[in-house]
Amino acid sequence: MLGPTARMIAQLLRHPVWRSGDAGDGTGQGVLLVPGFGFGDWSLRLLRSWLAARGYHPRGTRTGLNLGCTTRLVNHLEHRLEDLARTTGRRVIVIGQSRGGWLSRLAAVRRPDLVRGLVMLASPVLNPLGVHARGLELAQALVRLSAFGVPGLLDADCLRGACYRVNSALLRAPLPRQVPAVSVFSRNDSVVPWWLCQDPCADCVEVTSSHTGMGLDPDVYALLGPWLARWSADPRPTLFAVR
């Protein structure tokens, strides 16, 4: 008997959206895929394959399980954006799931010259610490392990220190006008309350999937197709400054 994730994968691969589109849709547009908290690039592998088949140039973040300090992760995303912008010659579309979405928003606020468009999937941009109790308990456990010397986990500074204050202020900042954004949310999300995804600077769109299942939901793929194609078709030259 198939488990829930396997069933969702099978449903996606059978859905017409998996075969829709054309190899020239993406016109070589770079797309950076940012996984959620505790997940690696492998969690967005199917989305990456779907994008590549449509002519996009998708890349992962190489951030492991996406558990580290917020500021260090955003710095790393900036470097990945610079590399991909340099490779493609234009600004990059960023798609982030859960924590990956609000990390991507931070990067877009800091470096709008590198970001063509932003998609946030089940991302608590209004308050990352407002997730349901299980998620917050996990974060606090990682902070305790970090205090005991386990490397690569969350620092206490990210939850209540200078790192938290700086990045909370950046999350409250409006997105630059040249960065269009979409925030996808679900009322069936048992990890992130849906109202925390209501970014006032983004088009907020509702789907019915679970939190972790959003990256496998055919409705999300059908939603993303036109947005990504429109952003990729922008004929204006892109200027970015690699620092």
What distances in angstroms separate CA 190 from CA 125, 136, 143, 172, 176, one per listed residue? Answer: 16, 13, 23, 24, 31
Give the model confidence (pLDDT) of 73-112 as tens digits.
999 999 999 999 999 999 999 999 999 999 999 999 999 9
Q: pLDDT tier at 70 (50, 70, 90 boundaries)?
A: confident
CA atoms within 13 A on the CB side of 48: 15
Q: Does residue 116 have a pLDDT over 60?
A: yes
User: For domain 32-231, which architecture applies?
Assistant: 3-Layer(aba) Sandwich (3.40)
Mean pLDDT over 228-235 rounds to: 85
Beta carbons of 224 and 154 less than 8 angstroms apart: no
Give the model confidence (pLDDT) of 141-187 as tens digits.
665 655 555 555 666 666 677 887 888 899 999 999 999 999 999 99
Position 25 scores a pLDDT of: 85
Please name which of 96, 80, 86, 113 lies closest in space to residue 179, comparing C-alpha atoms. 113
Q: List Cβ neighbours of 64 (8 Å cut-off, separation of 6 or more).
A: 40, 152
Beta carbons of 131 and 192 less than 8 angstroms apart: yes
Pair of tokens at residue 84: 């991909």
pTM, full prediction: 0.90
Position 106 scores a pLDDT of: 97
Q: What is the DSSP letter of 4?
A: H
Element of type H or E holding 116: strand 115-121
Domain residue ranges of the chain, discontinuous segments joined by +: 32-231
Q: How many CB atoms lie within 10 A of CB 21?
A: 19
